[in-house]
Amino acid sequence: MEQAKQYIESHTFNDISMMEFYRQVFVYNSSSTDKKLKLEELKIGLTTNYKVRVMIMNVVIDTSNAELKSYSIHYDRDTNYFNVTEKKRGENEIRPSATEVLTRFDKYKNRITFPKGDYSYYNVNFYSSGSIGPGDNLYALNDEGLHLIKGRSLEGLIFMVYGDPVKKEDSPIYYIMPY
């Protein structure tokens, strides 16, 4: 666990690989095990120089058993806190593969633009897997680049980016990584 904590502390947002971090925490070698790990939540708080300040990642092991296991990773740079806890879950919801989300996120995250303004922090949150649009602050991220999406809906992995503290006139920017 200490190696994963050191990894996240020593990289900026542009240089970090969430898949590398994930693999250091969940030391699995089997791709079949990776397919069973589903992402429930990912929230990353960044400093203005794009270092990870806080992070929450929740994954669920999707097995054929009635009782699911959930793991929660919490990191807070300010309090030097890093912990992974296991929880038992009773509900079985459809969730995207953790490796799929994190691999796509690593591939396209450097195309994310952060809001301009007088912010103390930035936040990047995994919003959902599904459909979104149309909207004013909606962008598609793919191999061709960053594209403003107006007048249509897209399906994919949706991330929300916003500055903190949130001001009355602010609205989050949504990024979708199409399937």
Tell me the pLDDT of the chain (179 aa) as tens digits: 788 999 999 999 999 999 999 888 876 544 445 557 888 899 999 999 999 999 999 988 766 666 677 889 999 999 999 999 987 665 666 788 888 999 999 999 999 999 888 899 999 999 888 888 777 789 999 999 899 888 888 899 999 999 998 877 778 899 999 88
**Predicted local confidence at residue 30, as pLDDT:** 42
* Residue in 86, 91, 79, 90 with CA at minimum distance from that of residue 55: 79
**Predicted local confidence at residue 44, as pLDDT:** 97
- 132/88 Cα distance (integer angstroms): 31
Judge contact between 127 and 160, C-beta under 8 A: yes
**Predicted local confidence at residue 31, as pLDDT:** 46
Judge contact between 176 and 130, C-beta under 8 A: no
Tokens of 2: 């200490």
- 41/72 Cα distance (integer angstroms): 9
Tokens of 101: 């989300």
**Predicted local confidence at residue 162, as pLDDT:** 93
Tokens of 152: 């249509």
